[in-house]
Every structure is written in structure tokens, then in C-alpha cells.
Amino acid sequence: MTEQGGWWGVNGNNAPWRKISSDSIRPLKSQEAQFDGSASEFPFHFLPYASQQFFDGTLANLPWMQEMPDVLSTAMWNSWVEINIQTAGRLGIEQGDLLEVASQHGKLRAPALLSPGISPDVIAMAVGQGHEEYGRYASGRGANPLKILGPQLEPVTSSWAWAGTRVSVQRVGKGELILFSGGPTEWGQQKVTR
């Protein structure tokens, strides 16, 4: 019956759940966010995310997944680094430039993808590429953003703090960014200020 605020058996004693009293609930303590790397040396927050093509990288060996354009960016066949359009303009970075993203734990290189939807202080990168040995279509393609993450854990759940690493970014040359049909047309119409 739901009249008592939950799913209870007819007699109330065969339900798999128990009532929770307000005395047994403790509020979570707010903690200041901890990041790996100093803000002065590594001014950007790094955000690796699961890609729709490869999820965590297990589908990267399938050629049709490599060929499938990313839903938002239309990028394919490689890794890319997402950076805010205004931030890119300030740093002299253009679409497709080869960027070096560095943390205290390593460096990676991938082409720039200018994105109006990302925060100016965040650098994002899809997970799934950068395999060393994973068949003909995945080996040696792109960069693995997990290799530069800090080792810190989230204190409440003890899970890996994916978004807890700070990075620096610099242009190191011209890269190869493959976009389906040239990419989203609306993004190219925005003014980049330097």
C-alpha cells in the first residue's frame, strides 16, 4: 500500500524496505574541491568524458565507430581537444591547431576543436582513443586523456576524481582535425577575439 508513504505489504511486515526516520539521516558535509596541479601553472580544469562512439574505448577497434561522426562536433577518426572559442582566440589557437595538453602527470597532443558550449576555464576531451595495441583501426590513433589524470580519489565514494586534474594548453603546430562535411556551420560564424 502506498498510503503509508512507501510500498508495504498488506500486513506491513513482508516489504523489502524499511521506514527511514529523520534521525538516521545525516547531512553531507560540504568540502572545498581539491584539484591536482596549481592554478598558476595549470590554469585549466581538464574534463575527460565518455564518448558516444567508443564509450570507454572498448569499441574503438570497430572501423564503423571510428568513421561515425561525433554528434555535436562531427569530428571522427581521431582525438580532439575542446576549447572555448574566446579562450582559443586569447591564446592564438585556431580550429585544427595541434595542442599540447599537460598536467603534472604527463602530456598529450591532439587537434583543437573550438566549441562555444564549453566553459572558458575548461579543456575537454573524449575518452576512447589512444590505444597502443587494439587492432588495425584503434592502435596508434589519437590520444588517451586518462594518461594525464591525477591519482586523487573522490573522498565520499572513493572513485577516481575524473574532473580533478588541472592542465595547461599550448599550440605546438598544425594538426589534423577531420570533421564530417566541414563541421557545424553555426560555430564558424562566431567572432573570435584575440
Residue 141, in any domain of the structure: yes
Domain membership of residue 37 (yes or no) is no
Residue 12 lies in a domain: no
The three three-digit cell numbers of residue 138, written as one number: 584503434
For residue 27, pLDDT over 80 is answered with no
Each residue's pLDDT tens digit, 167-194: 999 999 998 887 887 666 555 545 555 4
What integer is the mean pLDDT of 76-80? Answer: 80
User: In DSSP terms, which residues pair with 127 in a beta bridge?
Assistant: 50
Whether 50 has a pLDDT exceeding 80, the answer reads yes
Count the domains in the chain: 1
Q: Is residue 133 part of a domain?
A: yes
Over pLDDT 90: what percentage of the chain?
A: 38
Average pLDDT value for residue range 32-58? 87
Residue 23 lies in a domain: no
pLDDT, mean of residues 34-60: 85
Please check whether residue 160 lies inside any domain of the structure: yes
CATH of the domain at 113: 2.40.40.20
Residue 10 has pLDDT above 60, yes or no: no
pLDDT tens for 108-144 read 999 999 998 899 999 999 887 776 777 776 677 778 8
Residue 19 forms part of a structural domain: no
- Residue numbers of the domain that contains 153: 44-180
150 occurs within a structural domain:
yes
Query: Across residues 157-173, what is the average pLDDT?
Result: 91
- What is the residue-averaged pLDDT of the chain? 80
> What is the mean predicted confidence (pLDDT) over 50-65?
73
